[in-house]
Amino acid sequence: MAKAIKTPRAARAIDHAVLPVEDLATARNRLSALGFSVAPDGVHPFGTENCCVYFSDGTFIEPLAIAQRETCEETALKGNVFTARDQAYRFRCGENGFSALAFLTEDAKRDHKAFRKTGFSAGKKLTFARKFIGAKGKAGKAAFLLAFGADSRAPDALFFTCEPVTKPKVDRSALQEHENGVTGIREVVLSEVNPTDFQYVLQEVVNNRDDEAHSFGLEIAAANGILNAMTPEGLAAYFGVAASGQGRGLRLEGLVFAVRSISGVRRALDHHGVEHREIHNRVIVDAAAGQGCFFAFEEA
């Protein structure tokens, strides 16, 4: 009998980045100044709220604030991984940062089993629904199932897969057009003193066993972008930024956005008086209140 041929894994697509902020008003003001169109506020049933920025490639960023602290604490105690890890991140790292990275999936239950099998499960699955409001005020319902992955040696970095159970019948194309010309997330930047120590958890959450080593760390390809885990020296050389924490542990540091033109980004930032600099043909904006992490803009 012929041996079964194992088909290659299909790498997951980056879905969105979770950026803790102190409050949504600050986030909305900051992101608008950066040239982004910001969606109306959304409220989760477990005590958090967001004001997302959506891109035409299907990715988005999720500034996350506390709406009801008592609800967050209560749900965390009952095993809600999302609120528990958010509280822990804010306690350790402050009210502004980059705490979690989500990947799109068609089967979060299967992902949860895989994370448990490899020892990278961060806890129970989470099912929830929330109202989604479009740019013109039309509302729809969105429901999701999440499976969480993490490495216990990296308490400040959470990964999860997100299965859209119910998609809202709302046109959000107007929200995907931005003054700065951003079309999507091209690269997610992480840091660690020795990035290869965390290659297995990154391979598992991306669902890709292949990685590419470089002089400052390693890269793993998602279906629609790159995860780039770099040493602090790499962060300084490529982006001119310092690592967000001291000591060991994988951390989510910043985002590289694809833009239609670098000149368009410059105009938008200059128009709103936002400080920026350029390194290696990228426009860099350092982390600030309401922004979470550093942003880099790169011409598509």
pLDDT in tens, 104-163: 999 999 999 999 999 999 999 999 987 766 656 666 778 899 999 999 999 999 999 999
Arithmetic mean of pLDDT, 224-235: 97
Range of the domain at 258: 176-299
Q: What's the token pair of residue 102?
A: 């989500």
Q: Enter the DSSP assignment of 121.
A: B
* pLDDT at site 172: 81
pLDDT of residue 134: 60
pLDDT at 143: 87
Q: What DSSP letter does each residue of 269-294 carry, written as one string?
A: HHHTT---EEETTEEEE---TTT-SE
CB 11 within 8 A of CB 208: yes
Look at residue 64 and tell me whether its pLDDT is greater than 90.
yes
List the CATH number of the domain containing 193.
3.10.180.10
Q: What value does the mean pLDDT take over residues 258-270?
A: 96
For residues 300 and 259, is the Cβ–Cβ distance under 8 A?
Answer: yes
pLDDT-based confidence at residue 7 (cuts at 50, 70, 90) = very low
Instruction: Give φ, ψ of 211 to 5 degrees.
Output: -140, 160
Q: Among 175, 206, 229, identify where a domain stops.
A: 175
Mean pLDDT value of segment 24-48: 96
Tell me which of 124, 152, 175 is where a domain ends. Answer: 175
pLDDT of 6 above 50 = no
- In this structure, the chain runs to a length of 300
Q: Domain count for the chain, please give it.
A: 2
pLDDT, tens digit, 9 for 90 and up, residues 190-212: 999 999 999 999 999 999 999 99
In the predicted model, what is the mean pLDDT of the chain? 93
Task: Return d(Cα 186, Cα 263) in angstroms, integer.
Answer: 18
Specify if 7 maps to a domain: no
Residues 78 and 48 in one domain: yes
Residue 66 located in a structural domain = yes
Query: Does residue 3 carry a pLDDT above 70?
Result: no
**Mean pLDDT across 33-42:** 96
